[in-house]
Amino acid sequence: MVQRVTSSSVTIDGSAVDAIGTGLNVLLGVADGDGETDAEYLAGKVVNLRIFEDRHGKMNRSLLDMGGQILVVSQFTLLGDCRKGRRPSFIDAAEPVLARRLYLHFVERVKKLGVDTHTGRFGAMMQVDIVNDGPVTLLVHSR
């Protein structure tokens, strides 16, 4: 899930972990069956999405174009299936070892693409403050 933000930050146990100004907040869920190719595709897609306004007010600029920052937060609950019953099923979420590896691969790929990259802490209970700009929120899939 990609959100255009004016600011975003992560806190763990009352301590600030990381924060960004204008840019993107990415809540990254890793599904069972995802691989490095998916992480690379998503990294390229996210940093090149033209969702920032140009001087005419049109969404024509990417994160790379405007030199913004990105905050990437692991979010396995994005894989929650709520179609049956009242409790989400997380059967489609990747196992933690794979999810952590692909989360870190995504982060490294975004850095290599030249974006000022910040993160939460994989697997931690986090409080994420997001000031969504627009609001602009998009679901981006690799499949």
Query: From the candidates 22, 37, 77, 137, which is the catalytic residue?
Result: 77
Mean pLDDT computed over 118-142: 97
Confidence of residue 74 (pLDDT cuts 50, 70, 90): very high
- Which phi and psi (to 5°) does residue 48 adopt? -105, 0
Domain 2-138 in CATH 3.50.80.10: yes
Segment 59-72 mean pLDDT: 97
**Euclidean distance between CA atoms 110 and 42, whole angstroms:** 9
Residue-level pLDDT at 111: 98
Instruction: Work out the mean pLDDT of the chain and round it to a whole number.
Output: 97
The answer to whether residue 77 is catalytic is yes
Q: Comparing C-alpha atoms, which of 108, 127, 112, 139 is closest to residue 28?
A: 139
Q: What is the pLDDT of residues 87-110, one digit of tens each?
A: 999 999 999 999 999 999 999 999
Instruction: Kindly tell me if the per-residue pLDDT of 64 is higher than 90.
Output: yes
> Both tokens of residue 52?
């920032």
CA–CA distance, 105 with 107 (Å, rounded to integer): 5
Distance CA 143, CA 128 (A): 27
Helix (H) or strand (E) holding 136: strand 127-138
Q: What residue spans define the domains of the chain?
A: 2-138
Q: Kindly indicate the confidence band of residue 28, based on its pLDDT and cuts at 50, 70 and 90.
A: very high
pLDDT for the residue numbered 143: 84
Cα–Cα distance list, 98 to 26, 50, 88, 114, 122 (Å): 18, 30, 21, 25, 12
pLDDT at 131 over 90: yes
pTM for the structure as a whole: 0.95
Please give the average per-residue pLDDT across 63-79, as a whole number.
Answer: 97
Q: What's the pLDDT score for residue 38?
A: 98
